A and B are shown apart, each in its own frame.
Chain A
Amino acid sequence: MLRIVDLHAKLRDEDKEILKGVNLEIEKGEVHVLMGPNGSGKSTLANVIMGNPRYIVTEGDIVFEGNSIKDLPPNERAKLGIMMTFQNPYEVEGVKLSQFLITAHRRIHGEDKNYLELRKELEETAEKLGLDKDFLERYLNVGFSGGEKKRSEILQSLFLRPKLLILDEIDSGLDVDALRLIANLIARLNEEGVTLLIITHYKRLLDHLKRIDKVHVYVDGRIVTSGGPELADEIEEKGYSLEGVR
């Protein structure tokens, strides 16, 4: 489904290379985990896959369902079924979460469903996350607590239902109950066919997941090693520095 081939990228406004030859292949329905220390550029990879204009691909390719997407704008990638959750989603004053999501749904999935159907679906999805109707009428991320931002990102993922979901540190700053709730929802999404790329530097989210196909260790702009779920345990024990040496 997703094939990343020798991907190099740099910041648009600086010369420093941030992605230094990433190779990654994910099949449909799989769950991949990308682990790495803080500041290793894990989020950059997510941003480059999504098409953040702050980054420029200098070499290599990103292939989604057989087609190169590296020159597509972010919205075209979203329409193909790629989505990422943001570590720190941006605030948009005056735009209601409900209004934003219904518009987004239409752009991605077309106009088949009418407003009321979508509205109902959105409210039901919010309920699963313990978010009430009033939450949907708040301005996008404005004044959201850390936990609310994460829930909102998951709400968006469930509602917009991508084919490939990249979760960028969705587990940071969540309490135990929220973490379990979100992990369960993510697991269910995967059972329903959504492919997952989970970016994290803790193992605790992974403990709630039944399926993990591969764990990749990412250090300094490269995947340095890959393995099964047991690799996560190893990292927990020995830390990243050991992996980097391998």
Chain B
Amino acid sequence: MMERLIIDDSRFNFVPKVKTAYKAPPGLDEKLIMEISRAKDEPEWMLKHRLESLKVFNEWHNPRFGVDISGLDLGKIVSYIKPDAKKSTSWEEVPEEVKEAFDKLGIPEAERKYLSGVGAQLDSEIVYQNMKKELEKMGVIFLDMESAVREYPDLVKKYFMKLVPITDHKFAALHGAIWSGGTFLYVPAGVKIPMPLQAYFLMSNPGMGQFEHTIIVAEEGSEVTFIEGCSAPRYNIINLHAGMVEIYVKKGAKVKYLTIQNWSKNTYNLNTKRSIVDEEGSMTWVSGSLGSQKTMLYPMTILKGKGARAESMSITYAGPGQHMDTGSKVVHLAPYTSSIVSAKSISLGGGWAFYRGLLKITKEAVKSKASVECAALMLDNRSKSDTVPIIEVETDRADVGHEARIGRIGEDQIFYLMSRGLSEQEAKAMIVKGFVEPVVKELPFEYAVELNKLLELEIEKSIG
């Protein structure tokens, strides 16, 4: 079925012409933080939070593992850029330039396909939010984070950086100081949202940071699927992405979080994602990490309540010049909890895919079940793949399974496919797509097509 869809490749590699309305001065200091907070018309507690975060950031050391971030020059990063476009509630109000950028990213199609809301982030500001009336009727709050801070300060305060404290790591602190944009999604008890809700992020200015903050609160018995898709134009100046996602899954609730990350190849993607799950709740992460120059990302699920469940499926792609340090973390704190981790990585053209995962089962988590499966596929001899799945089990009354496979693409397989008319490149792409298929099939159709297309383009570029 994929064969019939023709996607214009150029939309993955372009530079939108968006005017910059507000540019914070270079350098991070209290003055800048206060300026940002004032521009956003924030309550006092948020300003205080930002200033405390800045202090922690200045005092904290760099991460002592993972990727080499010595090439990251924070002084160069202008962290707050406000586009000309004001916050919009209708498509008509969105400026032409912005529309053009979105057009190339295929967003209108996705919007047509999904009748649910679209939150699109251009630079550090939400420019477009389209919410279905139905969502409001159901009592769902689906807002850009700035608006949420102003309109629901008490609700936001209850959850904002409570799961990932500012002292978690240096870039969490940085995020706390200069975050902007992102999504606040609150689903009341018992509400099941039938369509996936989506947010698009877009980075369009050189030397800027992207620090969006997303909070999802799924109250008792509610259900929601959220899609985060990133695609970025290409620039040569260092870009940093240090976003944060915090997800609160209450008793019996279900949250599914899907991501396709395709930051431009100069981006340092130092992102933090975490979820906490109450009794009988369920959290599912589906992630595709393709872009960036270097990534450190370890989506974490804390199974706090009895019978809570976690599932994490991921594809990591490491092409030429890329170092991807990723992995799932699951912590079982209660009895009868269960988790499944399935991580797949592809490395080619000298890329390095490093799986760094954690599975921890505490002594309270009796009768828990967990499985970790890591599979790595290397397309050539220059590429690297490592697997470090750390498993700590403090009770002997838990059922833990683990499997790791690292392999190179088979010459005989390629010959077989080529003998049926496929070129070497097509054969490789087909094998790679087959390898990631179990994860891709979890994605909505458009995303599956996009991810496959992105993989094809990447393989094409590096094999040539």
Chain A interface residues (CB < 8 Å from chain B): 50-54, 73-75, 77-79, 83-84, 86, 89-95, 99-108, 114-115, 139-140, 156, 160
Known: A75-B421, A75-B423, A94-B433. A103 touches B413 (CB 8 A): no
The interface bits of chain B over 55-91 (1 if a CB of A lies within 8 angstroms of the residue's CB, else 0) are 0000000000000000000000000000000000000
Residue B417 lies at the interface, judged by CB distance under 8 Å to chain A:
yes
* A100: chain B residues within 8 A (beta carbon): 417, 420, 430
- Residue B14 at the A interface, CB < 8 A? no
- Can you list 12 contacts pairing A with B, beta carbon distance less than 8 Å? A51-B418, A54-B415, A83-B420, A84-B419, A86-B419, A91-B413, A92-B430, A95-B437, A100-B430, A102-B3, A103-B426, A115-B1
Among residues of A, the one whose C-beta sits closest to the C-beta of B424 is A73
Query: CA A108 – CA B423 in complex, angstroms?
Result: 11
Q: How far is the CB of A26 from chain B (nearest CB, A)?
A: 19
Residues on A with beta carbons closer than 8 Å to the beta carbon of B420: 75, 78, 83, 100-101, 104, 107-108, 156, 160
A115 and B4 form a contact (CB under 8 A): yes
Which residue on chain A has the smallest CB distance to residue B375? A93
B415 touches A53 (CB 8 A): yes
Q: Which residues of B contact A (CB under 8 A)?
A: 1-4, 410-413, 415-424, 426-427, 430-431, 433-438
Chain B contacts for A105, CB-based, 8 A: 421
Other-chain contact of A103, B416, B418, B424, B430 (Cβ < 8 Å): B430
A78–B1 CB distance below 8 A: no
From A77, A92, A101, A108, give the contact of B431 (CB < 8 A): A92
Taking A75-B427, A86-B419, A95-B437 as given, write out 14 further A-B residue pairs in contact, using a Cβ cutoff of 8 Å, ordered by the A residue number: A51-B415, A73-B418, A73-B423, A75-B419, A78-B419, A83-B420, A91-B413, A95-B433, A104-B421, A107-B422, A107-B423, A108-B421, A114-B4, A139-B434
Q: Measured between alpha carbons, how far is A20 from B347 in the docked complex, in Å?
A: 40
A74→B430 CA distance, assembly (Å): 16
Contact of A95 among B415, B423, B431 (CB under 8 A): B431
Please give, as numbers and ranges, the residues of chain A lying within 8 Å of B416 by CB-CB distance. 86, 89-90, 92
Taking CB atoms, residues of chain A closer than 8 Å to B424 are 73, 75
- Contact present for B411 and A54 (CB under 8 Å): yes
- Please indicate the chain B residues that have their CB under 8 angstroms from the CB of A54 in the complex: 411-412, 415
Q: How far is it, in angstroms, between the C-alpha of A169 and the C-alpha of B436 when the chains are bound?
A: 33
How many angstroms from the CA of A99 to the CA of B416 in the assembled complex?
Answer: 15
Q: Given A100-B430, A106-B3: A74 and B419 within 8 A (CB)? A: yes
Given contacts A52-B415, A53-B411, A115-B1, contact A95 B434 (CB under 8 A): yes
- B2: min CB distance to chain A, Å: 7
Q: Which residues of A contact B422 (CB under 8 A)?
A: 75, 103-104, 107
**A88 to B, closest residue via Cβ:** B412
